[in-house]
Amino acid sequence: SGRVRRSCDFAVGGFICTMLGYWFYCRYNLAQHRIRQRMLKEGMRNKILFEGSSLDPERKQTGNERSDS
């Protein structure tokens, strides 16, 4: 009967450690997801902004355009 309190303390301690570990893991993944979203949003904005201009990296440059720059 003397070890009931000790086993409950271990159970609560294990639960707290598990929940804190999972919380940090989720926060880390959320931060990574937000960074990827921000990069994608900026890339889409730049694509719309530069599409069709001379700064468009996907646009093929002809000989005349190369001599102008």
List the chain pLDDT tens, one digit each, 69 residues: 578 989 999 999 999 999 999 999 999 999 999 999 999 999 888 887 777 777 776 776 655 555 555
Residue ranges per structural domain of the chain: 1-53
String of DSSP letters for 6-43: HHHHHHHHHHHHHHHHHHHHHHHHHHHHHHHHHHHHHH
pTM confidence score: 0.59
